[in-house]
Amino acid sequence: MAGSLDQKLAKNYGGLSARLRQAADYVARHPLDVTTRSLRSVAEDSGLPPATFSRMARRVGYASFEALRQDVRQGLDRRAGSFHERAERLRARHRDGGESFPSAHMAACIGNIEALDGIESARLEAVADRLGRARRVVLFGALGSAGIVEHMAYVAGFLSGDWQMAGRGALSLGAALAEMDDRDALLVVTKPPFARRSVRAAELGREAGAFVVLLTDSHACPALAEADEAFIVPSATPHFFSSYTATLCLLETVVGMVAARAGTATQRRVAEVEEMTRGLDEVLDGGPTTTKQKGRLQCSTTQD
């Protein structure tokens, strides 16, 4: 919880009515719910009217409950620590002869992946079905998430030309989001510090009526309110940078589930893309080689 909220509550708690104290106590005990759920949902869970939370926020020094919510969110973000602070802790651990970093990092990554078992299979099935039926699937990730999403786009490109990564190459984010509707899907990956463009993309996708899927590692992610389906993927690690190991595993799982549902036309496309890739001499992996490829390879060997 944000330090400023702690201070405001400590200063003003004694002057609150019993009802307002209940609201303050709820906020203090449930900071993640306060930042990720609507005021109506918070009120329903607490058994208090929404107006009580609004009055409490003003009584302790905020202009509105939304201002209080933003303060709590910033506090949660700060709790995670900045990159340079994590890097310093990593250096200090090495200097002090702490636990082996390779062992600690690998154990954390394994733990993150194992935690994915907690995701209900029905949720994954529903997401795979929806993505597989979508007219168009737009993928987006910024900052550290961009490379992870690009890998997903590459793999999904074998299945369909309708899966596109926005924000890379000639496809701008604006162009990718244009003309989206309820026949389309948008998948966004973002982690702290949350990229503004990722949050905005989720907002625009929801406004357009697209099916929005969000992968993040924090209940404080502001894009959660825009998602039709969201997965909180653990990223714990002693590294100074959040681990994407479990995120990549989940993305590969989803694409694999979509592929398993695909019809014969999609299977033919996978074969055609593979053949075209080899025809362009982009790979040398021991797969089937055409006569023309053999000739070029022999020529190259002779010149060498």
Give the mean pLDDT of 132-158.
93
On the question of pLDDT at 185 being above 50, the answer is yes
Domains of the chain (ranges; CATH) run: 3-79 (1.10.10.10), 110-262 (3.40.50.10490), 267-303 (no CATH)
Radius of gyration, alpha carbons of the chain: 24
Confidence tier at 149 by pLDDT (50, 70, 90): very high
In tens, the pLDDT along 196-220 reads 999 999 999 999 999 999 999 876 7
Q: How many whole angstroms separate alpha carbon 228 and alpha carbon 29?
A: 26
Would you place residue 263 in the very low, low, confident or very high pLDDT band (cuts 50, 70, 90)? confident
pTM, two decimal places: 0.65
Residue 237 host element (H or E) = none
Mean pLDDT for 163-173 is 84
- Cβ atoms of 193 and 83 within 8 Å: the answer is no
pLDDT attached to residue 1: 39
DSSP 8-state assignment for residue 234: -
Q: Confidence class of residue 148 from pLDDT cuts 50, 70 and 90?
A: very high
Reduced to 3 states (helix: H, G, I; strand: E, B; else coil), residue 211 is strand
Cis peptide before 193 (omega within 30 of 0): yes
Asked if 159 contacts 258 with a C-beta cutoff of 8 angstroms, the reply is yes
Q: Looking at this protein, which amino acid is placed at residue 156?
A: A
Residue 167's pLDDT band, with cuts at 50, 70 and 90, is confident
